[in-house]
Amino acid sequence: MEPGNGTQISDFLLLGFSEGPELQPLIFGLFLSMYLITVFGNLLLILAVTSDSHLHTPMYFFLANLSFVDICFTSTTIPKMLWNIQTQDNVINYAGCLSQMYFFLLYAQLDVFLLTVMAYDRFMAICQPLHYMVIMNPQLCGLLVLVSWVISVLNSLLQSLMVLRLTFCTVLEIPHFFCELNQVVGRACSDTFLNDLVIYFNTVLLAGAPLAGIVYSYSKIVSTICGISSAQGKYKAFSTCASHISIVSLFYSTGLGVYLSSAAPQSSHSSAVASVMYTVVTPMLNPFIYSLRNKDIKLALKRIIGVPVM
């Protein structure tokens, strides 16, 4: 449709994963289960960290913040998707779409920053153990989280305001289960060059730069671990990083893959399926990956729920 046919739109149509009604109950049950596991799993992790004084350390402080952000992250998209399936109404209004996009970008960016801060924390703990508690003091930890929030809020606000300047065509079907930035911008009738430029610049700056920081931190960590003489010392040092490496790998490999391939032609639902990995699966797996490999978390959870955690 030509830009001249643009109009002041009021609704978007979220197509989700399948237009076939026979698959909707299966999708509803699957995502409801994953959402409940994500919320309760991360809430348990937050409760374990806050209730156990032994876990009042920088590493667990950042982990509790990550769990909180993951709950918010999934709550931005999944409840609306479940509601659409249940009511068989895939419409989301313009204001609701912009709001969902804003909060999705906010919590996605916070995930990136918190994973980077956690890598820095492990770098200091392993490479500078004698100065760790002095450098990673409560003031610095709080400041790192605050700065992460401020930058994420400003970035989300910028991206949302950039969308407000666009005009849209009358047919506004989004082959996704939420209002994803690239999908919304791609439906505009007006020129999106500036939007695309800001999206890719932000991807490089606010996702690529933190990833470079994570890679640098772990290169130093690996170098330090290799210098440890005892096998037991090497294992203990590496075990504190294994969970974080797993989450970073899963989050970045799926998230960056979706955004960097957005300019290429895609099938109608390929981006939505890929997005499930970093919007739903990764937040769901976080508490399991961190708790099952951490005896301190397992002990804290045992005291809360009263039964041993595997």
pLDDT 10s digits, 81-122: 999 989 888 899 999 999 999 999 999 999 999 999 999 999
Distance of alpha carbon 305 from its chain centroid, rounded?
A: 27
DSSP bridge partners of 13:
91, 173
Q: For residues 110 and 261, which has the higher predicted lDDT (pLDDT)?
A: 110
Q: Is residue 7 very low, low, confident or very high in pLDDT (cuts 50, 70, 90)?
A: very low
Question: Which letter, b or e, does each residue of 204-229 get, where b requires 16 or more Cβ atoms within 10 Å of its Cβ?
Answer: eebbeebbebbeebbeebeebbeeee
CA distance 290 to 310: 12
Mean pLDDT of 215-223: 94
Strand segments, DSSP code E, in 118-232 are 173-174
> Each residue of 128-184: pLDDT tens digit?
999 999 999 999 999 999 999 999 999 999 999 999 999 887 768 888 889 989 889
Mean pLDDT of 17-40: 88
* Span of 49-63, 76-90, 153-167, 230-244 with lowest mean pLDDT: 230-244
Residue 51, both tokens: 């209730």
Mode of pairing for the β-strands spanning 173-174 and 11-14 = parallel
Question: Which letter, b or e, does each residue of 74-86 get, where b requires 16 or more Cβ atoms within 10 Å of its Cβ?
Answer: bbbbbebbbebbe
Mean pLDDT of 287-292: 83
Entry field: residues in the chain: 310
Measured CA distances, 56 to 124, 153, 286, 289 (Å): 17, 27, 19, 19
Q: Is it the case that residue 123 has pLDDT exceeding 80?
A: yes
Mean pLDDT of 73-86: 94
Dihedral (CA of 153, 72, 289, 203) sign: negative
Q: Is residue 3 very low, low, confident or very high in pLDDT (cuts 50, 70, 90)?
A: very low
- Collapsing DSSP to helix, strand or coil, 15 comes out as coil
Q: For residues 252 and 43, which has the higher predicted lDDT (pLDDT)?
A: 43
CA distance 50 to 308: 19
Q: How many other β-carbons are positioned within 10 Å of the β-carbon of residue 29?
A: 12
CA distance 210 to 116: 6
Q: Is residue 22 very low, low, confident or very high in pLDDT (cuts 50, 70, 90)?
A: confident
Contacts 24+ apart (CB under 8 A), 271-276: 271/175, 271/176, 271/180, 271/182, 271/183, 272/16, 272/17, 272/175, 272/176, 272/177, 273/17, 275/176, 275/177, 275/180
Write the CB contacts of 89 (distance below 8 Å, at least 6 apart in sequence). Answer: none
> Each residue of 194-209: pLDDT tens digit?
999 998 898 889 988 9
Residue 228, both tokens: 């440890």
Share above pLDDT 70 across residues of the chain, in percent, rounded to a whole number: 89
